[in-house]
A and B are shown apart, each in its own frame.
Chain A
Amino acid sequence: MNTNIKYILIAEDDPRDLQLTMAALDEYNLVNKISVVSDGEETLDYLYCRGKFKTRPPGNPVAVLLDLKMPKVTGIEVLKIIKADNNLKTIPIIVLTSSREDPDLIECYKSGVNAYVVKPVDFDEFMGAIKQLGLFWMAVNEPPPQMAPEKTSIQSGVFISAGKK
């Protein structure tokens, strides 16, 4: 079952932060596979297997690293939508943001975020934090069981029977 391949989804619009995050995860061989989206709308399209992600391989990421300040749909809006959706709410969401503002922290925790990590400004600390984040969520945490694949297949158009289109 290909849904056994552990992968994470990174939702990050800043190319520099994205590069650093991927480099840190790569360095410690923490992730077999990373998918990347660069705004809130893409994040939702990815998780809902729609739009340009309609035919992506089925299966949820074992974690989503979610930036808050993103264009189109903000991180907090994405978080709220995902955690309100019965099919998607079990996906671990880790906010990864430069904001340590109380309102953001409160809003995220009240919306059911799994974890909240403030991006250190210092390079070494940043790499260290991503390493620990990666180690915990990829190697220690037990992800939620995957949904039955039929739903996803139908959404991706594979099982649409003759006449339905």
Chain B
Amino acid sequence: MNTTKMRQILIAEDDPRDEALTLSALEEYNLANKVAVVRDGEEALDYLYCRGKFKTRATGNPVAVLLDLKMPKVNGLQVLRTVKADENLKIIPIVVLTSSREEPDLNECYKLGVNAYVVKPVDFTQFMKAVKQLGIFWAAVNEPLPQAANEKTLVSSG
């Protein structure tokens, strides 16, 4: 478990309360050196493709994307579909973090290749606990693809 690596996490979440709770759970356990937040699906894609307002962001893929499903402009399912269909981006771990436990959402996400699916607990303490566990696994235990393999992404972003 190499915690000295620069591990960035992308959170795609439109609800400010959920965003605040998620950030605070991740920060409390020093789980990510860098957390970026986007508020809708369009921004999520712009971030991952290094385009639009993210054209000059620091390069490299996040080690995980925490993806809400219900977002404006482009919803989570569409983001997931786009990313997992993209040869360069499909290797990024996507963890859906949503209030939906609906079977159609679960089915669709797993069929599209989501890496994991976490239902947001309603209870505050449970929510913090779930994000902590999620954070520990994806930021400290899981081995993401090495950055060198992402050179392609750098080239395509110009």
Interface, chain A (partner B; CB < 8 A): 89-90, 92, 100, 102, 105-106, 109-110, 112, 114-118, 120, 125, 128-129, 132-133, 135-137, 139-142, 144-145
Q: Could you tell me if B143 and A105 are in contact, using CB atoms closer than 8 angstroms?
A: yes
Q: A136-B137, A140-B118 are in contact. Are A90 and B110 (CB under 8 A)?
A: yes
Cα–Cα distance between A92 and B118 once the two chains are bound (Å): 13
Q: Could you tell me if A105 and B133 are in contact, using CB atoms closer than 8 angstroms?
A: no
Shortest beta-carbon distance from A12 to chain B in Å: 17
Cα–Cα distance between A160 and B113 once the two chains are bound (Å): 34
Q: Is B91 an interface residue (CB 8 A)?
A: yes
Name the residue of chain A whose CB is nearest to the CB of B146: A102
Q: Could you tell me if B133 and A132 are in contact, using CB atoms closer than 8 angstroms?
A: yes
Chain B hits for A100, CB < 8 A: 143
The residues in B between 116 and 158 inclusive whose CB is less than 8 angstroms from any CB of A are 116-119, 130, 133-134, 136-138, 140-143, 145-146, 148-149
Q: Is B90 an interface residue (CB 8 A)?
A: yes
- Which segment of B14-22, B42-50, B71-79, B100-108 sits at the interface? B100-108
Q: Is B93 an interface residue (CB 8 A)?
A: yes
Chain B hits for A140, CB < 8 A: 118, 130, 133-134, 137
Q: Could you tell me if B111 and A141 are in contact, using CB atoms closer than 8 angstroms?
A: no
Shortest beta-carbon distance from A56 to chain B in Å: 22
Q: Could you tell me if A139 and B133 are in contact, using CB atoms closer than 8 angstroms?
A: yes
Shortest beta-carbon distance from A137 to chain B in Å: 8
Q: Could you tell me if A115 and B142 are in contact, using CB atoms closer than 8 angstroms?
A: yes
**Interface size class of chain B, counting residues whose CB lies under 8 Å from the partner chain:** 20 to 34
Please tell me which one of the listed residues A114, A125, A139 contacts residue B116 in the complex, with CB atoms under 8 A apart: A114
Chain A hits for B137, CB < 8 A: 115, 132-133, 135-136, 140
Q: A132-B136, A140-B134 are in contact. Are A118 and B111 (CB under 8 A)?
A: no
Q: A114-B116, A116-B143 are in contact. Are A129 and B1 (CB under 8 A)?
A: yes
5 contacts between A and B (CB under 8 A): A92-B116, A105-B145, A118-B143, A136-B133, A140-B137
Cα–Cα distance between A92 and B96 once the two chains are bound (Å): 14
Q: Could you tell me if A115 and B115 are in contact, using CB atoms closer than 8 angstroms?
A: yes
Please tell me which one of the listed residues B91, B106, B141, B148 contacts residue A142 in the complex, with CB atoms under 8 A apart: B106
Chain B hits for A90, CB < 8 A: 107, 110-111
Other A-B pairs, 10, CB within 8 Å; known A109-B145, A137-B116, A140-B133: A89-B111, A100-B143, A102-B146, A105-B145, A116-B142, A128-B1, A136-B137, A140-B137, A142-B117, A142-B118
Q: Could you tell me if B146 and A141 are in contact, using CB atoms closer than 8 angstroms?
A: no
Query: Chain B CB within 10 Å — which of A114, A128, A139 has the most?
Result: A114
Q: A106-B149, A109-B91 are in contact. Are A144 and B134 (CB under 8 A)?
A: no
Chain A hits for B133, CB < 8 A: 132, 135-136, 139-140
Q: Could you tell me if B117 and A117 are in contact, using CB atoms closer than 8 angstroms?
A: no
Chain B hits for A142, CB < 8 A: 101, 106, 117-119
Shortest beta-carbon distance from A98 to chain B in Å: 12
Shortest beta-carbon distance from A3 to chain B in Å: 14
Name the residue of chain B whose CB is nearest to the CB of A113: B115
